[in-house]
Amino acid sequence: MSGHVRIAIQLWISFMVTTCALAGQGEQFTAQGAVLGPNGEPVNGAIVSLYLTYGNDRLYEQLTTNQDGKYKFVVRAQEVGNSYGLIVVQKDALAWNCRRWLMLDDSVADISLDRPKELAGVVVNDKGHPVAGANVSLHSVRSSSVRANYVPKHLAKELFSTETDSQGRFRVMTLSVDWQIDFLIEAPGYATIQSEYLPDSRYTVYTPGQTDIRFILRPEARIHGTVVRDSDGQPLPGAEVRIGRTRTGVAYGFDSAISDQTGKFSFRGIPEGDFWVGTGTSHVPDTDWVGWSIPIRTQAGETTSGVKLELTQGGVLEVKAVDSLGAPLEGAGVTVFTRDGSSGLAQGSTDGEGLCRIHVPTGAYKLIEVGKRGYHACEPHIFFDIAQGQAIRRELTLTKADRIDGIVVDEAGEPVSDVRVVLMPSPTDAVFSDKHGRFTTTWIKRYDEQNRPDDTVYELIAMDLKGGRAGAMKMQGEMEGLRIGLKPAVTMTGTIVDSEGKPREGAMVSSWLRGDHWGMNLIASKRLLTDHSGRFAIRCVLPDRTCEININTHGTKQVKKSIRTPVHGGKPFDVGRIELVSEADTDN
């Protein structure tokens, strides 16, 4: 199918191979703590909700606190699959807050609610006229500086949505000053705005306290097309058609379309730009019809018609995942790529019999990953060809992950809570110490030892963003009873200037801690932008270590600067001025 983009989507799942934990069939995990008010007092009547987030977010359990402010959730490993938990707390007159729970182990942590901060702005059209009745919702929410919580897009929209008034104004009063916000703005006849993809490609950070936000809506682009069978051109009704940005591959912010009885589908509210449109591989109910997506370039105010998605019945890849005893493993994620590795094709997960069936178009593929919580991800790189109507089956054995337990303490030996702990270089998620300073994480040790250089040094890195301290511990065989000591950390500061020496506001700053054959992102999930003076500050950096600072901003080349931090922490360390270089000055 000439000209088709090598992006075929199946199941639209966020594959979390690296979220390993001890998740046997009979295990259960408990999260508990108290909801506290601005002055540390227990909050009565707070609504506490546990969401499981993995692809489609779902509410697992909800409760209301009593006078002691306490909450408690118990989950069974076999019920949560590859999901992680997000505990969301809401209370009238207070800003809502949340806590990410990886469900690696039992967790004890209090959740504090601040007084709300206003965030407001106006929505206008491209002629500067206010747009009344525009829907303004949260598109995503990033963290506090402590836990780097991330609220998924679908859930963020559910938590808050409002409409602009007759003057195009909107106002949000339920947010903590600690959050970074991305918005989704929708209005009939206009292109939907996702604030991280603004038309002029500016980097943006919206935080509570801002009251001068201004969004400009432009005329929508529309797409009309048909889903048909490639063999005879007959229409396929009931096909779920999705759309996403070519640059990012994501479809968030745009609802899918369902083909009607004549196979027709349409999209409205699309911005100007490059997109893909496709059905994926399991979105025609009760059939095996699959297909590639195709590229579309949209223009503001114009309609793209005659789009044709031709689907084939293809073949089937069956993957069975078992443990070391041969028992089937439910919830193991499976990822298939095209043979040349140019794109991810399909993802799925195993059922109660440990079996995953993925329908794919005819062609050459490779099975690259099979993984499950609590187990080493298996990366078999099995190559196979699928012909029309063919079924291929493979059985793979997954082994349990290694567990690491420890405690984080200060210089006096006292436990420290809310410390971010990361094992480097290993693709496991960061964890946080509980109120007793304890942490539990996992290590896909066998994979690391087989795939990394023999002289790789593995370290546990601890960052206490709340207290401005950091610590590190080299892994030397022991996996239990580990003790990470914190010491005053370094705060790196600097100034970004343009080629004329003028401060550059809004430059994106990232920083990496460099180890033996690895690098660790020091910014976590938050966006760090320079202020109006071009200044930035990176907190909680280990003393006497090598770091790299990267600067990105539109219209300039990426700039990198290597830094060696001071031997002793506890005070700011200025790295000086970093000058940007215009893309126009790039050597040919």
Residues 6+ apart with CB under 8 A from 414: 437
The closest alpha carbon to 443, from 470, 466, 421, 464, belongs to 421
Category of 584 on φ-ψ map: left (φ > 0), alpha (ψ -120 to 50) or beta? alpha
- Distance from the Cα of residue 188 to its chain's centroid: 29
Strand segments, DSSP code E, in 323-362 are 333-338, 344-349, 355-360
The span from the CA of 115 to the CA of 173, in Å, is 10
**Do 1 and 44 form a contact (C-beta atoms < 8 A)?**
no
CB-count exposure of residue 233 (10 Å: 0-12, 13-18, 19+) = exposed
- Order the strands of the 508-515 sheet from edge to edge: 518-521, 508-515, 546-552, 559-564
The span from the CA of 492 to the CA of 44, in Å, is 41
Residues 6+ apart with CB under 8 A from 454: none
Dihedral sign of CA atoms 164, 180, 276, 247 in order = positive
- Distance from the Cα of residue 3 to its chain's centroid: 30
Cα dihedral angle (361, 363, 369, 370), rounded to 10 degrees?
50
Q: What is the pairing mode between strands 180-186 and 169-175?
A: unpaired
Dihedral sign of CA atoms 224, 230, 234, 239 in order = negative
Q: Token pair 């432009």 is at which residue?
A: 218
How many other CB atoms sit within 10 Å of the CB of residue 130?
A: 15
Ordered structural domains, the chain, with CATH: 28-112 (2.60.40.1120), 117-217 (2.60.40.1120), 221-311 (2.60.40.10), 315-397 (2.60.40.10), 402-488 (2.60.40.1120), 490-585 (2.60.40.1120)
pLDDT for residue 270: 94
pLDDT for residue 82: 67
pLDDT for residue 313: 82
The closest alpha carbon to 522, from 490, 483, 554, belongs to 490
The span from the CA of 364 to the CA of 340, in Å, is 8
**Do 82 and 6 form a contact (C-beta atoms < 8 A)?**
no
pLDDT for residue 373: 72
Name 267's bridge partners.
223
pLDDT for residue 4: 39
Q: Burial code of 398-407, b = ≥16 C-beta within 10 A, e = fewer?
A: beebebbebb
Residue 172: which H helix or E strand, with range?
strand 169-175
Both structure tokens of 251: 């479809």
Both structure tokens of 480: 């239990």
pLDDT in tens, the chain (588 residues): 434 333 333 322 222 232 333 333 457 889 999 999 999 999 999 999 999 886 567 889 999 999 999 999 999 876 776 678 889 999 999 988 888 887 877 888 899 999 988 889 999 999 999 999 999 988 777 765 555 466 766 677 777 889 999 999 999 877 777 778 888 899 999 999 888 766 554 567 788 888 999 999 999 999 999 999 988 999 999 888 989 887 665 555 688 899 999 999 999 999 998 998 988 654 444 557 888 788 999 999 999 999 999 998 888 889 999 988 899 988 888 888 878 765 556 677 888 899 998 888 888 888 877 888 778 766 667 888 888 888 889 898 888 888 899 999 999 999 999 899 999 987 677 888 988 999 988 887 877 877 788 889 999 999 998 899 999 999 988 889 999 999 999 999 999 999 899 999 888 898 999 988 888 888 866 678 888 899 999 989 999 999 999 998 877 888 999 999 999 999 899 999 999 988 766 554
Amino acid at 57: D
Preceding omega of 380 cis (within 30 degrees of 0)? no
Alpha carbons within 13 angstroms on the beta-carbon side of residue 230 total 15
Residues 6+ apart with CB under 8 A from 234: 228, 263
Both structure tokens of 16: 């979390």
Name 59's bridge partners.
51
Q: What is the pairing mode between strands 28-36 and 111-112?
A: parallel
**Do 138 and 157 form a contact (C-beta atoms < 8 A)?**
yes
Both structure tokens of 76: 């069974």
The span from the CA of 464 to the CA of 324, in Å, is 38
